[in-house]
Amino acid sequence: MSSSNEPGERLQKVLSRAGVASRRHVESLIAAGRIRVNGEVVTELGTRVDISSDVVELDRKVLQLDVDRRYVLFHKPTGIVTSLSDDKGRPDLTQVLDEIGERLFSVGRLDFDSSGLLILTNDGEAANILAHPSFGVEKTYRVSVQGAVSNKTLGTLTTGVELEDGVIHADEVKRLDDPRGGTTLLDITLHSGKNRVVRRMCAAVGHPVNTLQRRRFGPFHLGGLKPGQWRDFTDQERHQLATLVQLATEAASSGENR
């Protein structure tokens, strides 16, 4: 945080540009003691901040103020690889990135034959925290599997399934339809980032996957996006992500200092 004669930008200007509030409304937020910079309540209207280093909070929620950082929700259809090229010549992310107009990379991956929510960004720190299993960000997949899944099998998926690379367990499994049919629809939530883990878990308990769609990635939802559609994060979603990143960073730092 800078004083009025030091580098940085006025807090009102920064928050207005990021879509948090108008400059006049920011002044009322400051007067009400609702804005903090680096943990301290702001009291001066002329406060200047550096968005590359200062942490700004509104009502104790971290704000994402760097408008150069891009975050996109994309409904990946089946039949696309989540990279910019493919040695097998399959369709990749090039077309959607041409539409977006910016070179972004995907957070984690979705298999060629899977669909659903894919986050695209140019923010490497946020991407790492969202994708790395050590940070515990949950993902929910809607999965159609072969056969009738019993209550016992639901329990096995949550207590742990032995795979070739170790035991994996889902954080939550919900059965969404009558298990007496030829297929069963499940919502499987987990934070593992291992390759094809949901497909391998289901196959290991005797219920191979027919279709798989990621519906949720942390606090971000697929919503009404249709296959092939994309949209930028809302301001609220940008700030949700900033808060998530800050909390994860603080947790990692406290763990290292123990």
Tally of domains within the chain: 3
Question: Percent of the chain having pLDDT more than 90?
Answer: 67
pLDDT for 52 equals: 86
| Selected residue with higher pLDDT from 71 and 22 | 71
Average pLDDT of span 148-171 = 94
Write down the mean pLDDT value for the chain: 90
Per-residue pLDDT band for 248 (boundaries 50, 70, 90) equals: confident
pTM above 0.75, yes or no: yes
Is 249 a member of any domain? Answer: no
Contact 55, 1 (CB under 8 A): no
Contact 232, 99 (CB under 8 A): no
**Which of helix, strand or coil describes residue 178?**
coil
Burial of 255 (0-12, 13-18, 19+ CB in 10 A): exposed
Amino acid present at 17: R
Answer yes or no: do 122 and 230 share one domain.
yes
As given in the structure block, the two tokens for residue 32 are 């009400």
pLDDT for 256 equals: 59
pLDDT for 6 equals: 62
C-alpha span between 56 and 258 (Å, rounded):
26
Average pLDDT of span 34-47 = 91
What residues form DSSP beta bridges with 212?
143
Answer yes or no: do 57 and 156 share one domain.
no
pLDDT for 113 equals: 95
Q: What is the pLDDT of residues 187-240, one digit of tens each?
A: 999 988 788 999 999 999 999 999 999 999 999 999 999 999 999 999 899 999
Answer yes or no: do 228 and 129 share one domain.
yes
Give the residue numbers spanning the domain of 52.
Answer: 9-63
| Selected residue with higher pLDDT from 2 and 136 | 136
DSSP state of 119: E
- The CATH number of whichever domain residue 164 belongs to comes to 3.30.70.1560
Per-residue pLDDT band for 23 (boundaries 50, 70, 90) equals: confident
- The CATH number of whichever domain residue 19 belongs to comes to 3.10.290.10
C-alpha span between 129 and 29 (Å, rounded):
30
Per-residue pLDDT band for 85 (boundaries 50, 70, 90) equals: confident
Q: Which residues carry out catalysis?
A: 111
pLDDT for 2 equals: 52
pLDDT for 4 equals: 47
Radius of gyration of the chain (CA): 22
Average pLDDT of span 80-104 = 91
Answer yes or no: do 185 and 146 share one domain.
yes
Answer yes or no: do 112 and 154 share one domain.
no
Contact 187, 215 (CB under 8 A): yes
